[in-house]
Amino acid sequence: MFQEISAKNMEGNVMKMIADEWMLVAAGDETKCNMMTASWGFMGEMWGKECAMIVIRPTRYTYDFLENSDYFSLSFYGGRRDIHKICGSTSGRDVDKIKETGLTPVFANHTVYFEEARLVVICKKLYAQDLDPACIVNDDGISKWYNNDYHRAYWGAIQTVLVKE
């Protein structure tokens, strides 16, 4: 059972959660949805709103879902690396990730998330832009992450935060 809380009342270090615990980024609806493991992103305030920012490469199957949806979810699972092993190494084009992970989809708040999550953040897309290599002002090792396959960044206004009771 989930309880809704304010984004400002989320417990834990968000930087540590994203970088070390990882998250699933999901979008879609009852007819079709997908999720992927992500360990890059931010949460904070932008344009007077509590926001999250994620990045997805256009080659990822989840990219199309983000492009065609107004909402997306970020969900956290504690130490459940089994989920991230599947969702971070297989494509929803080839594998039914919901079946493979055993996750239970919840279609609510304009998107999809999963019952097994300990924390869910639902975002409404505000802004999307491709990362432009011409705008990198100090490479400082950034180029090691790219081979002309730059991410698209998505900013979303946090609409709902759900925590497991």
Note down the domain range covering 65.
Answer: 2-164
Output the pLDDT for position 41: 97
Q: pLDDT tens-digit profile of 136-164?
A: 999 999 989 999 899 999 999 999 999 99
- Residue 158 near residue 52 (C-beta atoms within 8 A): yes
Cα separation, 59 vs 55, whole angstroms: 12
Would you call 156 helix, strand, or coil by DSSP?
A: strand
Which of 36, 60, 26 has its CA nearest to residue 156? 26
Domains in the chain: how many in total?
Answer: 1
**What is the average per-residue pLDDT within 47-59?**
97
First-to-last C-alpha distance (Å) of the chain: 6
Cα separation, 165 vs 158, whole angstroms: 20
- Residue 22 near residue 39 (C-beta atoms within 8 A): yes
Cα separation, 18 vs 13, whole angstroms: 9
Q: Domain with 98 in it: what CATH number?
A: 2.30.110.10
**What is the average per-residue pLDDT within 45-61?**
97
Phi-psi domain of 29 (left: phi exceeds 0; alpha: psi -120 through 50; beta: other): beta
Q: pLDDT tens-digit profile of 89-122?
A: 999 999 999 999 999 999 999 999 999 999 999 9
| Strand bridging mode 119-130 / 105-108 | unpaired
Token digits for 129? 């832009």
Output the pLDDT for position 77: 97
Q: pLDDT tens-digit profile of 16-49?
A: 999 999 999 999 999 999 999 999 999 999 999 9
